[in-house]
Structure 1
Amino acid sequence: MMRRRTTTLLSGCTAVLLALGATACGGGPVAAGGGDKALSGQTVTVAGVWTGSEQKNFQKVLDAFSAKTGAKTQFISTGDNVSTVVGSKIEGGNAPDVVMVPQVGVLQQFARKGWLTPLSATAQRTVTADYAPVWAKYGSVDGSLYGLYFKAAHKSTVWYSPDALTQAGVKPPKTYDEMLKAGHTVADSGLAAFSVAGQDGWTLTDWFENIYLSQAGPQKYDALAAHRLKWTDASVVKALGTLGTLFKDKQLIAGGQKEALNTDFPGSVEKVFGPKPEAGMVYEGDFVAGVAHDQFGRTVGKDANFFPFPPVAGGSAPVVSGGDAAVVLKDGKNAKAGMKLLEYLATPEAAAVWAKAGGFLSPNRKVALSSYGDAVARATAKSLVGAGDSVRFDMSDQAPAAFGGTKGAGEWKLLQDFLRDPSDPKATAAALEAAAAKAYKG
């Protein structure tokens, strides 16, 4: 989310992890605008949440588009509250042409307000041919395809210190129960099993989502994400109980529940990969690698590695993702040129520009696995792209922000309360349902 944007913690170092080559499988790259400077003299404005290295790397993509088409580009950083910023710009008659939307719920909101233009036939053909159908699903509203997913995150990765697991004599686990058992063995060797970033409520939603997707299955996950299933359902109570087993075990969480509630996401990575390790493992998305490398000098694949979030109670291994979708606003001054940018972003050529700089993962199947720079990156990409339609978008990002994306409120706060006291999953489920019902109604 990232969000709540943890992707902003990625930087150029992650080229080691997620570097893509410029070569695509299955034919040559598609030239935006025909490569004939057809957009010379036009300016495309693009709004998105990115700052820092992410903004700089996306600018490289925009520069490549400019070199091909002759169009100038202007990037506007919105901060996390994309909806408010874009809405105010539309009202002020200064709408951007393209917005990089980080949440499905926001994309749906924009579409239902009538702000968006459906993807061109060219972009739609590319999505159909080169992406798993699930990405079209999350980019569509009421049967129309509005969003092109350019950048993705893999949120079903558990990162660990190979030294810590080796010292404890354990191997990466294959099931959730094995993971907890391995955690106790790690704890017996002198380190806590997990570092948990409870200060950031979004990390707790990610824990829940992986457990729920595996334990309850994709159909119930989809129903809960759309609030067609109530949070008081027995499947939710069961998943909370599974999560609570971890939360209440003082051997498993570094510093116990109280310290977890005072640990933010970067701090949780530091407890595993920093100079004074306190835990052997930390759960979060592929962006953990960027923090481990950039801030703590860890070499990804050598002294920082991951295993897939393991299946729970006989279910399938979950693959939860997040991502940024490019959309074209109707009120943009140059929406036609904006659509040409989307057609370019759909190509492996465009993905390769950012991928070379690092900190990037593409959901485009035409970006060959052999283009990734190392075994860890190939495994990450294979897991995400290979999951096909079993990928599920981060549930809290599909919810109204009042429930799934607001600090100190809704799901974030209620799961923090549950971390503090996981003794009554049924009561927590009831509180979640009350908050969800209010938010979805609004």
Structure 2
Amino acid sequence: MLSSRRAFLGTAATLLLAGCSSDVLGLRRAVRVAVSWSGEELRAFHKVLDSLGTLNYPVEVVPLGDAISTAFGIRSTRRPDIVMLPQPGLVPRHLSDLEPIPEDIAPLGRARLWKELLVHEGTTYGVPFKTAHKSAVWYRPSVFRQVGVQPPRQWSEWLTLNRTLTQAGVTPMALAAGDGWVLTDFLENVLLGIAPSVYSELATAKDPRPSQQPQFAAALRLLGTMWSAPGLLAGGVKESLVQQFPDALVEVFGHRRAAMVLASDFAEPVVRSFAADPHDIGLFTFPPMNAGAPAPVVVGGDVMVLQKPTSDDARDLVRRLSAQTAPDPWIAEGGFLVDGRTTGYSPELTRLAEQLTRPGEQLQFDLSDRLGRIGDINGLWRVLTDFLIAVGRPDAAVPDAVDDAMAELRNVEEG
């Protein structure tokens, strides 16, 4: 999931590097950690490093933003030792660049959500650091109370809720269509809700072909029905297309021009920073597609991998960062979930953490991350952007837009 949300928390200040390079000090070689974070997220990671206590080696943090995958191409002494990878789906494609994770912490990479991505032929090549709940919807409870509605319990209720809000003169939703991964998150939740077996098959296929799955088209039709509703989006499709993730959050909680926004747990610091009323913050999770069906839960996250050749110092840092209490300083800042942990969060994130650990929940990892080039910015992102434009026209015909999207997807698969 390449995500310009990695820069969205940078509203406050200048970025700093943690520690100093040994190239400058002439001392013990620094452990270099490549990250995609910036701004407040990067600042929170510094606090995590500071909380580890005195280390026997310097640590240098290398912020690479959306170019994080370039860390694997560096072959000089400036090569990062540890990569905090926001696209765990890249791990299988870089096994030749990676060292196995030390056996004492390797079980962390064998957990239910991560095993298929991080374990290959019995060897673990990554451990999770940060988990992202990608089925969260943040909203303003005061608006719901004013109109007399409740969070939806299934998909049809969500469509009704949107119509009720619109009829009451309230714009239902802000959509950060300028960040294509927000559109893929939406589609993934719908597909997982209506066809979990198809979702799983696509996620694990060596040569995935979404265009050959009728259920994929069915998910697009459902999504098109929502997105094409008149008055649904703050600023309409035109403004949504240039609206990035933080802007959509501010649209709902700062400017209060919309009632809700699909936004992962890591949105929490921005929501709280910009909320005009700090008590008017609510959260519900993506509802089931039908009564009695399980709700979809799409999960992402950042994993730690060790580049070849590694060092004892790099292994030591990964061990320290793998401790369940290591990210406590970031948890205190908000917008951080640890796989398997349900305590220490705000009430909203506690609900998300509990859902991720409840038996029987329908959890699946971010599909676009697992589709390779089909799911990236020139693939599914572009297809969904064009689809949104098509269904947003006044004379839009959703079935025709679905057919066009599936044809465009076929071209991506064959390209």
Give, in angstroms, the shift of residue 229 of structure 1.
4.4
Match runs of 1:39-50 below 5 Å: 41=28, 43-50=30-37
Give, in angstroms, the shift of residue 436 of structure 1.
3.0
- Aligned equivalent of 2:22: none
Q: Determine which of 108, 115, 126 is the counterpart of 1:136.
A: 115
- Aligned equivalent of 2:23: none
Give, in angstroms, the shift of residue 433 of structure 1.
2.8
TM-score of the two chains, using structure 2 as the length reference: 0.86
Structure 1 residue 122 corresponds to structure 2 residue 99: no
- Aligned equivalent of 1:102: 86
Q: Which amino acid aligns with 2:70?
A: T
Match runs of 1:1-400 below 5 Å: 1=1, 3-10=2-9, 41=28, 43-67=30-54, 69-87=55-73, 89-90=74-75, 92-111=76-95, 114-127=96-109, 132-217=111-196, 219-225=197-203, 226=205, 227-275=207-255, 277-299=256-278, 302-314=279-291, 315-332=293-310, 335-363=311-339, 365=340, 367=341, 369-372=342-345, 374-386=346-358, 390-400=362-372
Of 168-177 and 137-146, more deviation after overlay is shown by: 137-146
CA offset digits 1:262-305 (Å, max 9, x no partner): 33222222322123x22211112123332222234442xx3111
CA offset digits 1:49-103 (Å, max 9, x no partner): 1122222221222233352x4232111111211222431x22x353221111110
Contact 1:6 1:287 in 2 (8 A): no
Cα distance, 1:264–1:357 mapped onto 2, change above 3 Å:
closer
Contact 1:201 1:416 in 2 (8 A): yes
Cα distance, 1:298–1:71 mapped onto 2, change above 3 Å:
farther
Give, in angstroms, the shift of residue 331 of structure 1.
2.7
Q: Determine which of 363, 382, 386 is the counterpart of 1:417.
A: 386
CA distance in 1, matches of 2:297, 2:162: 22
Give, in angstroms, the shift of residue 108 of structure 1.
2.1
- Aligned equivalent of 1:19: none
Contact 1:134 1:389 in 2 (8 A): no
Q: Which amino acid aligns with 2:102?
A: S
Contact 2:331 2:344 in 1 (8 A): no
Please give the root-mean-square deviation of Cα atoms over the aligned residues, in Å.
2.5
Q: Which amino acid aligns with 2:105?
A: A
CA distance in 2, matches of 1:405, 1:97: 26
Give, in angstroms, the shift of residue 191 of structure 1.
0.9
CA distance in 2, matches of 1:415, 1:310: 21
Cα distance, 1:193–1:78 mapped onto 2, change above 3 Å:
same
Match runs of 1:429-440 below 5 Å: 429-438=406-415
CA distance in 2, matches of 1:388, 1:353: 31
Identity %: 33
Of 237-246 and 279-288, more deviation after overlay is shown by: 279-288
* Secondary structure, counterpart of 1:193 in structure 2: coil
Unaligned 5+ runs, structure 1: 14-39
Q: Which amino acid aligns with 1:176?
A: W
Contact 1:206 1:284 in 2 (8 A): no
Cα distance, 1:101–1:387 mapped onto 2, change above 3 Å:
farther
Cα distance, 1:281–1:95 mapped onto 2, change above 3 Å:
same
Q: Which amino acid aligns with 1:123?
A: I
Contact 2:383 2:409 in 1 (8 A): yes
Give, in angstroms, the shift of residue 236 of structure 1.
0.4
Unaligned 5+ runs, structure 2: 13-26, 392-397
Q: Which amino acid aligns with 1:411?
A: L
Give, in angstroms, the shift of residue 167 of structure 1.
0.9
Q: Determine which of 414, 426, 429 is the counterpart of 2:403.
A: 426
Of 230-239 and 58-67, more deviation after overlay is shown by: 58-67
Cα distance, 1:190–1:391 mapped onto 2, change above 3 Å:
same
Q: Which amino acid aligns with 2:5?
A: T
Give, in angstroms, the shift of residue 178 of structure 1.
0.4
Contact 1:48 1:77 in 2 (8 A): yes
Contact 2:266 2:334 in 1 (8 A): no
CA distance in 2, matches of 1:57, 1:108: 29
Give, in angstroms, the shift of residue 252 of structure 1.
2.4
TM-score of the two chains, using structure 1 as the length reference: 0.81
CA distance in 2, matches of 1:433, 1:389: 32
